[in-house]
């Protein structure tokens, strides 16, 4: 039997939280193990006195778009978890800023509901009182100069009350169209000096808009102040790609064209657009996931060993991958749309936006020449799964010829990003008994079984990294630019969308794209 795909395995229960501790970090000069692994962090015992960290510089956090879905589902729960772990600075407070009219108390209640719904650690009365006391809210327009002046005065009072000492940490949880107004008004209010600012993906709408956006931001902020976030790079299993490759002598020697036939990257969901019709009509699967998650994971898979794990040395190598990558044939990119998408709220009845994308890339360098990379992403598919599969070449000579024995499937290595995080190596072995019969067997590493507990959410790690000023897991301007450049031919001349059934594995054209192979993350595995 074939190794069970991530999509065929039941989700398992999680227990204790785990998050990297600042004490395990080595600043900007890293040896890889200090952040590629999953060290146990301090956990707060019931009834224990909560303490904040003295290791981080005091900072006042401002979340632009604080009434939005990202803030509710990810940012506030992440800050709460960091707070409970004692990883936030002693001088710390959060100010929510958005157009929605809301009082401080209403914002605190929104935060409490978010923690109840989306957090692995529910609000504890004593700790929550302390955390909620550090939350405040200001309503205002992003382009309004007077509103930003009010924010300036508000932050001055935050400095005095919570000891944030002028440290500023801005998070733009807004549409990218709001970014230029935000940075311009921050500069006019003098709030940009010595500040850090995080921008959400997708960074731009195409190559031209990404360049315009970078130019507008650089009029105010230096690159060292900018953190372009892709939360996939905060996932333990994605970071572990680097440890798996560069901390083991077994795999890196075969991580190349001499031993690999092709590479597959799958990031698919069983849900639809979940009421985000207006947003999705402006993005689609290519802009939402291919230019971000899939490309960034691909760079970790394909990069050369960096000189060190200093942020720019690592990012130099990921950008080299993108510079070497190109679509094998832009006209063969598969664009699909699930049946019923056009009936979703906020979606045009004649929409041609893709909810599925499949593409084939090649990386033109000595390591990867002639090894195709197949990428796919989509919504309303048969299961939710994110995984990477490296398919090895078949043995060059069949010593079993002249017998009734057929070689089973080719060997493959699968990295499960989510759920059931882990790594599986599938190989052929002799089945016990008389005669010679081969069967597929697997060697499996499971994060939960090995380390125990719950893996921290990616946003927790990335928020902590950004607050520390560490750019290792954030995108650089030239990498963003090149990612859009690769896909611009598809955006300029998009292929027609083909309909697929909800609950299927997408359009048949995606299967034809990878032929004569089959996608690994399906019930029928590749041969």
- For 35-93, the pLDDT digits (tens) are 332 333 334 333 333 445 557 899 999 999 999 999 999 999 999 999 998 999 999 99
pTM of the predicted structure, to 2 decimals? 0.85
Q: Are 20 and 429 in contact (CB under 8 A)?
A: no
* Size (the chain), residues: 527
Q: Where is 492: in which H helix or E strand?
A: helix 477-492
* Residue of 37, 34, 25, 30 whose CA lies nearest to 314: 30
User: 95-116 burial, b for 16+ CB within 10 Å, e for fewer?
Assistant: bbbbbeebeeeebbebbbebbe
Choose the final residue of a domain: 213, 228, 243.
228
Where in the sequence is the domain holding 395, given as residue range(s)?
Answer: 233-514
Q: Are residues 280 and 161 in the same domain?
A: no
Q: What is the CATH number of the domain that holds 464?
A: 3.30.360.10
Q: Does residue 52 fall inside a structural domain? A: no
Average pLDDT over residues 449-470: 89
Choose the final residue of a domain: 178, 196, 228.
228
CA distance 516 to 511: 9
CA distance 522 to 5: 7
Give the model's pLDDT for residue 27. Answer: 37
pLDDT at 8 over 70: no
Q: Does residue 75 fall inside a structural domain? A: yes
Percentage of the chain exceeding pLDDT 90: 69
Q: Are residues 215 and 294 in the same domain?
A: no
Q: Which segments of 8-166 does DSSP mark as H helices, in order? A: 33-36, 69-70, 76-84, 104-118, 125-132, 145-162
Residue 428's beta-bridge partner residues?
440
Q: Does residue 130 fall inside a structural domain? A: yes
Give the model's pLDDT for residue 389. Answer: 96
The model's pLDDT over 97-127, given as tens digits with 9 standing for 90+, comes to: 999 999 999 999 999 999 999 987 778 788 9
* SS3 (DSSP) at 156: helix
Give the model's pLDDT for residue 428. Answer: 83
User: Higher pLDDT residue, 24 or 509?
Assistant: 509
* Residue of 282, 486, 499 whose CA lies nearest to 378: 499
Q: Are residues 293 and 184 in the same domain?
A: no
Token pair, residue 149, equals: 């002046």
* SS3 (DSSP) at 433: coil
Number of domains within the chain = 2
| 8-state DSSP, 409 | S
User: Higher pLDDT residue, 160 or 526?
Assistant: 160
CA distance 418 to 65: 28
Backbone phi, then psi, for 93, in 5-degree steps? -160, 155
Q: Does residue 92 fall inside a structural domain? A: yes
Average pLDDT over residues 240-261: 94
Instruction: Say how many C-beta atoms besides its own lie within 10 A of residue 398's C-beta.
Output: 12
CA distance 373 to 356: 17
Give the model's pLDDT for residue 402. Answer: 56
Give the model's pLDDT for residue 54. Answer: 55
Distances (CA, A) of 160 to 63, 123, 170: 20, 27, 19
pLDDT at 136 over 60: yes
293 catalytic residue (yes or no): yes
Q: Does residue 313 fall inside a structural domain? A: yes
CA distance 351 to 345: 12
pLDDT at 523 over 70: no
Q: What is the CATH number of the domain that holds 187?
A: 3.40.50.720
Catalytic residue among 293, 412, 517, 525: 293
Q: Where is 375: in which H helix or E strand?
A: strand 373-378
Mean pLDDT of the chain: 86
Weakest-pLDDT range from 7-11, 12-16, 166-170, 438-442: 12-16
Give the model's pLDDT for residue 14. Answer: 29
Give the model's pLDDT for residue 162. Answer: 95
Q: Are residues 324 and 365 in the same domain?
A: yes
HEC sequence for 294-342: HHHHHHHHHCCCCCCCCHHHHHHHHHHHHHHEEECCHHHCEEEEECCHH
pLDDT at 436 over 80: no
Q: Are residues 261 and 165 in the same domain?
A: no
Give the model's pLDDT for residue 125. Answer: 80
Q: Are residues 365 and 506 in the same domain?
A: yes
pLDDT at 10 over 70: no
Whole-number CA gyration radius for the chain: 24
Q: Are residues 221 and 248 in the same domain?
A: no
Average pLDDT over residues 27-34: 34
The model's pLDDT over 302-343, given as tens digits with 9 standing for 90+, comes to: 999 999 889 999 999 999 999 999 998 888 899 999 999 999
* Residue of 104, 89, 225, 108 whose CA lies nearest to 164: 89
Q: Does residue 18 fall inside a structural domain? A: no
CA distance 399 to 397: 6
* Torsion angle defined by CA atoms of residues 86, 88, 93 and 98, in that order, rounded to the nearest 10 degrees: -120
pLDDT at 15 over 50: no
Token pair, residue 492, equals: 């300029």
Give the model's pLDDT for residue 309. Answer: 87
Q: Is the dihedral of CA 111, 116, 121, 127 positive or negative?
A: positive
Q: Are residues 356 and 384 in the same domain?
A: yes
* Residue of 266, 207, 300 whose CA lies nearest to 487: 207
Q: Does residue 3 fall inside a structural domain? A: no
pLDDT at 191 over 80: yes
Q: Are residues 202 and 240 in the same domain?
A: no
Residue 372's pLDDT band, with cuts at 50, 70 and 90, is: very high
Choose the final residue of a domain: 203, 228, 253.
228
Percentage of the chain exceeding pLDDT 70: 86
Burial class from Cβ neighbours inside 10 Å (0-12, 13-18, 19+) for residue 76 reads buried
Q: Are residues 206 and 252 in the same domain?
A: no
Residue 225's pLDDT band, with cuts at 50, 70 and 90, is: very high
Q: Are residues 213 and 99 in the same domain?
A: yes
Distances (CA, A) of 413 to 358, 367, 416: 21, 18, 10
Q: Are residues 210 and 255 in the same domain?
A: no
Q: Does residue 2 fall inside a structural domain? A: no
Phi-psi region of 492 (alpha: psi -120 to 50; beta: other; left: phi over 0): alpha
Token pair, residue 474, equals: 């954030």
CA distance 272 to 382: 11
Q: Is the dihedral of CA 211, 215, 216, 218 positive or negative?
A: positive
pLDDT at 16 over 60: no
Instruction: Say how many C-beta atoms besides its own lie within 10 A of residue 161's C-beta.
Output: 12
Residue 416's beta-bridge partner residues?
387, 422
């Amino acid at each position: 039997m074939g190794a069970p795909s991530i999509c065929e395995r039941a989700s398992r229960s999680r227990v204790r939280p785990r998050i990297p501790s600042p004490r395990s970090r080595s600043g900007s000069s890293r040896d890889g193990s200090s952040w590629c692994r999953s060290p146990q962090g301090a956990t707060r015992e019931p009834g224990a006195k909560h303490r904040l960290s003295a290791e981080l510089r005091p900072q006042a956090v401002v979340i632009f778009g604080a009434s939005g879905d990202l803030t509710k589902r990810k940012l506030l729960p992440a800050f709460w978890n960091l707070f409970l772990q004692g990883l936030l600075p002693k001088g710390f407070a959060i100010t929510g800023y958005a157009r929605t009219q809301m009082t401080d108390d209403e914002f605190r209640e929104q935060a409490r509901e978010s923690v109840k719904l989306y957090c692995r650690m529910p609000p504890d009365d004593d700790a929550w009182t302390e955390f909620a006391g550090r939350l405040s809210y200001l309503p205002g327009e992003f382009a309004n100069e007077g509103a930003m002046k009010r924010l300036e005065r508000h932050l001055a009072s935050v400095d005095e009350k919570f000891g944030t000492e002028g440290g500023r940490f801005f998070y733009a949880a807004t549409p990218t169209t709001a970014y230029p107004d935000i940075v311009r008004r921050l500069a006019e209010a003098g709030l940009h000096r010595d500040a850090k600012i995080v921008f959400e993906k997708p960074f731009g709408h195409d190559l031209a808009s990404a360049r315009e956006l970078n130019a507008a931001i650089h009029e105010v902020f230096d690159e060292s102040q900018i953190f372009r976030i892709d939360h996939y790079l905060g996932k333990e299993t994605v970071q572990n790609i680097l440890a798996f490759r560069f901390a083991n002598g077994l795999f890196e020697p075969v991580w190349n064209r001499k031993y690999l036939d092709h590479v597959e990257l799958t990031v698919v969901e069983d849900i639809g657009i979940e009421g985000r019709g207006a947003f999705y009509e402006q993005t689609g699967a290519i802009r939402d996931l291919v230019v971000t998650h899939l490309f960034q994971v691909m760079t970790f898979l394909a990069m050369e060993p960096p000189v060190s794990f200093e942020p720019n040395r690592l990012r130099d190598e990921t950008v080299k991958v993108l510079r070497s990558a190109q679509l094998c044939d832009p006209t063969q990119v598969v664009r699909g749309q699930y049946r019923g998408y056009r009936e979703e709220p906020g979606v045009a009845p004649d929409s041609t936006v893709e909810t599925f994308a499949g593409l084939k890339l090649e990386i033109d360098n000595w390591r990867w020449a002639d090894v195709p990379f197949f990428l796919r992403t989509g919504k309303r598919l048969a299961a939710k799964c994110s995984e990477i599969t490296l398919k090895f070449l078949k043995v060059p000579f069949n010593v079993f010829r002249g017998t009734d024995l057929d070689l089973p499937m080719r060997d493959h290595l699968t990295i499960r990003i989510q759920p059931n995080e882990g790594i599986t190596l599938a190989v052929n072995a002799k089945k016990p008994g008389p005669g010679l019969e081969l069967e597929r067997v697997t060697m499996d590493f499971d994060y939960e079984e090995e380390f125990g507990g719950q893996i921290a959410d990616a946003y927790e790690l990335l928020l902590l990294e950004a607050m520390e000023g560490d750019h290792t897991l954030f995108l650089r301007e030239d990498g963003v630019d090149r990612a859009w450049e690769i896909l611009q031919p598809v955006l300029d001349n998009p292929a027609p969308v083909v309909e697929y059934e909800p609950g299927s594995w997408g359009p048949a054209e995606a299967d034809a794209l990878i032929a004569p192979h089959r996608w690994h993350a399906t019930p029928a595995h590749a041969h």
